[in-house]
Amino acid sequence: MSRPFHFRALACALLAVAAACSGNDPAPTPTAPQTPATWHKDVAPLMQQKCGTCHVEGGIAPFALQTYADAFAHRAAIRSAVQARTMPPWPPAADCSTYQQDRSLNDTQVALLTRWVDEGAAEGNPAEAPAPVAPTGGLSRVDVRLEMADAYLPQQSPDDYRCFLIDWPETRTRYITGFRADPGNRATVHHVIAFLAQPDEAAAYQALDDASAGPGYTCFGGPGGPDATRATWLGGWAPGTLGQDFPEDTGLRIEPGSKVILQVHYNDHGQRAGSDRTAVAFKVDDTVRKVAIVQPWANPGWPRGTVPMPIPAGSADTSHLWSQELTPFASFITGGVFQNGVPVTIHSAALHMHTRGTRTRAEIQRASGARECLLDIPHWDFHWQGSYYLQKPVQLWNGDRLNVECHWDNSAPGATDRSWGEGTDDEMCLGVFYLTQ
Ligand code: HEC
């Protein structure tokens, strides 16, 4: 699928590379060579926008890309990483759908960075630097900010997965209308997922915390509570994301007596330790026009153990599919908060597997048989999970199914049979969707 026009227009405006923005422009001729690309004029603005959230001093990336000297030193690696499209990390397939805050590079931008390196990676003139572009996204307002009670020093290296409980402080029913995580130690916090423990589940989570020494408790695939299919996601954060307001006039209902569970994945690259005190920021409103739910989408029999999800040892490609009509099922699991017979709108999509996952896809299967891709992760990487807000939310009517398909490679030497579970040796196959009616 080709990108919408405004991406091109934006890229042209940003990069001011006339020849790359074809359209009505005459093709360059041998007598009119392109002006060589320079750091100040072309590359720095693009790298600030597309690389700067991670490649900063103290950031999650192994080196900064803030100055000309930084970029020059890494120019060969930059060229190959953008050519291979491994950088910036952006797992969704480009031909599936379009998302807000897409940080991937378009073809023009890849060509520009490649050309800059090939031409010798010139510095250029600082006076030619365009005005900085403000980053898009982020929370428009912070109403409630909750910080981990105590600092935590990761105990396992390189990866430590830990859940921390924080009391929800509000004393009346309110609606969460935006989410952002503020990692305490950007060099080690790799991702943060905020889950909601309903008032009637809070004690069970507290018991998990009490049973574990030090702040929080170990948790890997989910928050580890009594029922994985009830663990509502309030929001997810991975390096490079700024958080965002939820779709206008929609929000997640939150009751007094709830707890917020922060699942933090620490990754210290085997070297950079240091303690962390992460916080989460919420935009909160008293009313919303439409109550949203964040719906985990998996066969409910998998976590309950009533339907097996076998991933046999030795198999290089095992797949499982969960396909179900969304509208009646959403009505059933919300106890009628969502009504059967009324269309459901999907605003965002996320997919979740563990470390043996290879690819996963969420799509709509219309009553007519037509299929529409929502999110396709062709090369699953457990370290780069995210929630993707659709540029255009989609509606599902009765008869339309929502399908989630997962693939795993369990053929490594010494592999053992796997199935659904929360541990590092278990797997999951889960879609997570932000829905309204
Ligand atoms: C979302 C965070 C993030 C963004 C945005 C990002 N990077 Fe990275 N980058 C990383 C991390 C983390 C690593 C370390 C390797 C890994 O974990 O995949 C890395 C590694 C690299 C490497 C070394 C790769 C290698 O193969 O050794 C290069 C080069 C690089 N990034 C260039 C870029 C460029 C250029 C951009 C922008 C166009 C960019 N990155 C955007 C996080 C990011």
Does 9 have pLDDT greater than 70? no
pLDDT over threshold 70, residue 24: no
pLDDT at 14 (0 to 100) = 31
- On the question of pLDDT at 32 being above 70, the answer is no
- State yes or no: pLDDT of 194 exceeds 80: yes
Ligand 1 centroid to Cα of residue 77, in Å, is: 9
Whether the pLDDT of residue 110 is over 90: the answer is yes
Pairwise CA distance, residues 412 & 289, whole Å = 50
Quick check: CB of 61 below 6 Å from ligand 1? yes
pLDDT tens digits along 195-248: 999 999 999 999 999 999 999 999 877 788 776 666 788 888 887 788 899 999
Q: Of 202, 232, 218, which is closest to residue 350 (Cα–Cα)? A: 232
**Ligand 1 within 6 A of 55 CB?**
yes
pLDDT at residue number 25: 40
54 lines ligand 1 (CB under 6 A): yes
Q: Which two tokens stand for residue 364?
A: 């709509």
User: Per-residue pLDDT tens for 47-94?
Assistant: 998 998 889 887 788 899 999 999 999 999 999 999 999 999 999 999
* C-alpha 71 – ligand 1 centre gap (Å): 12
Q: What span, in angstroms and rounded, lies between the C-alpha atoms of 348 and 46?
A: 27
The share of the chain scoring above pLDDT 70, in percent, equals 90
Kindly give the number of the ligand 1 atom that is closest to the alpha carbon of 105: 38
Cα–Cα distance for residue pair 204/156, rounded to 1 Å: 25
At residue 279 the predicted structure's pLDDT band, cuts being 50, 70 and 90, is very high
pLDDT bracket for residue 29 (50, 70, 90) = very low
Determine the average pLDDT of the residues in 378-405. 94
Residue 27 has pLDDT above 50, yes or no: no
pLDDT by residue (tens digit) across 373-385?
999 999 999 888 8
CA of 73 to the centre of ligand 1 (A): 14
321 lines ligand 1 (CB under 6 A): no
Q: Which residue has the higher pLDDT, 435 or 335?
A: 435
Nearest protein CA to atom 33 of ligand 1, as residue? 87
303-320: per-residue pLDDT in tens?
888 999 999 999 999 999
Residue owning the nearest CA to atom 15 of ligand 1: 61
Q: Which atom of ligand 1 lies at the shortest distance from residue 84's CA?
A: 26
Mean pLDDT of the chain: 88
Mutate to test the pocket of ligand 1, among 39, 51, 117, 242 (most ligand atoms within 8 A of CB): 51
Q: Other C-beta atoms within 10 Å of 132: how many?
A: 10
Structure tokens at 288: 């919303």
Q: What is the CA(332)–ligand 1 centre distance, in A?
A: 43
Counting residues of the chain whose pLDDT is more than 90, the rounded percentage is 68
- Establish whether residue 50 lines the binding site of ligand 1, counting it when its CB lies within 6 angstroms of any ligand atom: yes
Q: What is the pLDDT of residue 229?
A: 60
Are the CB atoms for 285 and 175 separated by under 8 Å?
A: yes
Do 350 and 435 contact (CB within 8 A), yes or no? no
pLDDT > 60? residue 21 = no
At 250, list the tokens.
């929609």
87 lines ligand 1 (CB under 6 A): yes
Q: Specify the higher pLDDT residue, 224 or 143.
A: 143
Would the pLDDT of 357 be above 50? Answer: yes
Q: 88 alpha carbon to ligand 1 midpoint, in Å?
A: 6
Q: Give, for ligand 1, the residue of 54, 116, 268 to mutate: max count of ligand atoms closer than 8 Å to Cβ.
A: 54
* C-alpha 181, offset from chain centre: 12
- Is the Cβ atom of 81 under 6 angstroms away from ligand 1? yes
State yes or no: pLDDT of 17 exceeds 50: no
Report, as an integer, the average pLDDT of 141-145: 96
Give the distance (Å) from ligand 1 centre to CA of residue 431: 26
Ligand 1 proximity of 89 Cβ (cutoff 6 Å): yes
**Does 422 or 128 have the greater pLDDT score?**
128
Q: 263: CA distance to ligand 1 center in Å?
A: 24
In short, whether 117's Cβ falls inside 6 Å of ligand 1 is no
Read off the pLDDT of each residue in 44-48 and give the average, rounded to a whole number.
93
Expressed in angstroms and rounded, the spacing between residue 86 Cα and the centre of ligand 1 is 8
Residue type, 98: T
For residue 369, report the distance from its CA to the centre of ligand 1, in Å: 40
- Say what the alpha-carbon torsion angle 425, 429, 432, 437 is, to the nearest 10 degrees: -150
Cβ–Cβ under 8 Å, residues 332 and 429: no
Identity at 123, one-letter amino acid code: E
User: Could you give the count of Cα atoms lying within 13 Å of 174 in the half-sphere of its Cβ?
Assistant: 18
What pLDDT does residue 273 have? 67
**Residue 89 C-alpha to ligand 1 middle, in angstroms?**
7
CA of 189 to the centre of ligand 1 (A): 16
Does 53 sit in the ligand 1 pocket, CB within 6 Å?
yes
Q: Can you tell me the distance from the alpha carbon of 75 to that of 89, in angstroms, rounded to the nearest whole number?
A: 18
Q: Is the pLDDT of residue 26 over 50?
A: no
Pocket test for ligand 1, best of 39, 49, 55, 159 (most atoms within 8 A of CB): 55
pLDDT at 228: 60
Shortest CA distance to 346 belongs to which of 297, 396, 391? 396
**Ligand 1 centroid vs 59 CA: distance in angstroms?**
11
Q: What average pLDDT score do residues 307-334 get?
A: 95
Instruction: Average the pLDDT over 242-268 and give the result.
Output: 93
What size, in residues, is the chain? 437
